């Protein structure tokens, strides 16, 4: 959405074909790639990825890189500079969805709809080393992904590796009636369904509407997710960060279900002329105590 207008110009037109005669398991058959593909497919099945909506990225482990590097392109793409260096991502490699790709097509043709990019040894640029067959490039929201990865890598001491961006409709609908405020969103979600505070014990960040794909929303999202594993983009969708694919998908799933419960309860209460019945703050504290959750107590009265 603008970010790749200039980036496309510096990408090589003829990225070499992946090495064919290499021993080992092809990239598409690696366990982590299969998990990545499953998350994309599950999100599509949930209805969270209309057309080419949503994207995902995974910071590869050294073991992942070792198992795949024999299949990397002989001639990677040219380096594409980042708006600001991300020193703690120097040398890292990421599995990422392609710009304009439809999530429903990821399991059908992974090598065309996903790819691997590496960050240079200064954390200042990236290039394609595998995938994006047919001239594709990474998601236009790659700046947001990389900035959030940099933040979450620091605050979780390297534990978080998955970043998942989806367009769950109930969450988006909530942004039409609640202010883009972390406390307002968190309280509504926590109080609607018991499991939500367990899924996001630090609550959810919330940002007002911004044009996606640029550095402004990337920086705002990274700042918002310093202390939280989930962030809502008003009239757009949400991001979730976690150590595993299951956990990242589970955050979005739990938040989306809680959002749906909240919307239905609010509508029913208005129809019946009653006040919605919610989990009280003391009840939320009891859940936190019972499950030893590191909650953000500022979200409670």
3-state secondary structure of 82: coil
Choose the catalytic residue: 28, 63, 118, 141.
Answer: 141
Q: Which residue has the tokens 């399991």?
A: 107
Domain 3-14+23-140 part of CATH 1.10.3720.10: no
Q: How far is CA 138 from CA 19, 130, 207, 208, in A?
A: 21, 11, 24, 25
Asked if 25 and 87 count as a contact pair (C-beta separation under 8 A), the reply is no
Asked if 155 and 226 count as a contact pair (C-beta separation under 8 A), the reply is yes
CA distance 172 to 162: 22
Q: Where along the chain do the CATH 3.40.225.10 domains lie? A: 3-14+23-140, 165-299
pLDDT number for residue 25: 79
pLDDT in tens, the chain (301 residues): 444 444 444 444 444 444 433 446 799 999 999 999 999 999 999 999 999 999 999 999 999 999 999 999 999 999 999 989 999 999 999 999 999 999 999 999 999 999 999 999 999 999 999 999 999 999 999 988 999 999 999 999 999 999 999 999 999 999 999 999 999 999 999 999 999 999 999 999 999 999 988 889 999 999 999 999 999 999 999 999 999 999 999 999 999 999 999 999 999 999 999 999 999 999 999 999 999 999 999 999 9
pLDDT number for residue 215: 84
- Which CATH topology does 165-299 take? L-fuculose-1-phosphate Aldolase (3.40.225)
Strands 114-119 and 55-59: unpaired
Q: What are the φ and ψ backbone dihedral angles of 47, each rounded to 5 degrees?
A: 85, 20
CA distance 95 to 98: 10
**CA dihedral over 222, 140, 92, 83, signed as positive or negative:** negative
CA distance 88 to 72: 23
Going by C-alpha positions, the residue among 16, 162, 24 that lies closest to residue 96 is 162
141 annotated active-site: yes
pTM of the full predicted structure? Answer: 0.91
Going by C-alpha positions, the residue among 90, 70, 221 that lies closest to residue 152 is 221
pLDDT number for residue 24: 67
CA distance 70 to 225: 35
pLDDT number for residue 26: 93
pLDDT number for residue 85: 95
Asked if 71 and 23 count as a contact pair (C-beta separation under 8 A), the reply is no
pLDDT number for residue 3: 42
Q: Which residue has the tokens 């998955």?
A: 162
């Amino acid at each position: 959405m603008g970010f790749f207008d200039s980036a496309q110009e510096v990408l090589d037109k003829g990225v070499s074909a992946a090495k064919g005669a290499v021993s080992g398991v092809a990239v598409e058959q690696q366990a982590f790639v299969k998990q990545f593909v499953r998350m994309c497919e599950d999100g599509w099945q949930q209805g969270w990825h209309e057309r080419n909506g949503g994207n995902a990225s995974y910071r590869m482990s050294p073991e992942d890189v070792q198992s795949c590097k024999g299949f990397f392109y002989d001639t990677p793409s040219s380096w594409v500079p980042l708006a600001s260096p991300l020193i703690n991502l120097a040398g890292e490699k990421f599995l990422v969805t392609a710009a304009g790709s439809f999530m429903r097509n990821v399991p059908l043709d992974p090598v065309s709809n996903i790819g691997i990019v590496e960050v240079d040894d200064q954390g200042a640029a990236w290039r394609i080393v595998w995938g994006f067959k047919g001239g594709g490039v990474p998601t236009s929201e790659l700046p947001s992904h990389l900035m959030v990865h940099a933040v979450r890598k620091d605050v979780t001491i390297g534990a978080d590796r998955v970043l998942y961006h989806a367009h769950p409709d109930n969450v988006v609908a909530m942004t039409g009636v609640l202010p883009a405020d972390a406390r307002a969103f968190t309280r509504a979600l926590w109080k609607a369904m018991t499991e939500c505070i367990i899924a996001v014990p630090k609550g959810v960040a919330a940002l007002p509407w911004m044009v996606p794909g640029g550095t402004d929303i990337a920086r705002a999202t990274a700042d918002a997710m310093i202390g939280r594993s989930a962030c809502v983009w008003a009239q757009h969708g949400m991001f979730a960060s976690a150590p595993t694919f299951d956990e990242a998908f589970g955050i979005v799933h739990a938040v989306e279900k809680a959002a749906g419960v909240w919307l239905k309860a609010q509508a029913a209460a208005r129809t019946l002329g009653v006040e919605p019945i919610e989990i009280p703050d003391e009840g939320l504290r009891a859940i936190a105590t019972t499950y030893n959750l590191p909650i953000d107590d500022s979200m409670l009265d």
